[in-house]
Structure 1
Amino acid sequence: MSDSKTFNGVSISIWECVKKTSLKEHGTVYAPPGANKGTAKTSTIVGDVVLDFDFDPTKESVAYTIVKKPVLAPKSSIWSGIQDTINGCS
């Protein structure tokens, strides 16, 4: 599975919901605040997951790249977690 993944159909309102939901449910911090490009960091029991993100409001897409993840955190779980959050915000 790839270290990068693009999610489509992400409007500005869905993107804002994704960031708020990720913070509330997983403690994910998107930095810098309000930016369309930056880093999303989630601390887990087994270590930090760090992703670069690039949100393109005109294409309604967000691309993530895994920068750091614990060995015990499968990429598939990261991608499915993001997709679940997007689906919940749609």
Structure 2
Amino acid sequence: IRWHGQRPALLWDLQPHDDLGPVTLRTPSLDPEWSTTELRGETLLAEVAPPEGVDLYRHVPDHPDIDPEMRRPGATPAAPPPVLPEGGTFS
């Protein structure tokens, strides 16, 4: 599975077994309406709503050492984190 926004894309490739009948693939928790008996393929499933409380957008600040020409217009670098003593800390 890979994601295209809020829609999961499913890719599959099954190896048939002579002693078994056709297999039906389903995705009941992602898209209950979808199913197939194809041995291989890909499909874009129905949109899935994110769980409540999930932050879909998170701003990731630029690294303070980024080349100024690559910095977003108007963006100023954040102060670097303090240097920890040897061995770090868990507090």
TM-score tier, shorter chain, comes to under 0.3
* Richer in helix (by share): 1
Comparing both chains, which one has the higher relative contact order based on Cα–Cα distances under 8 Å and sequence gaps of 6 or more? Answer: 1
Q: TM-score, normalised by structure 2?
A: 0.27
Q: TM-score, normalised by structure 1?
A: 0.27
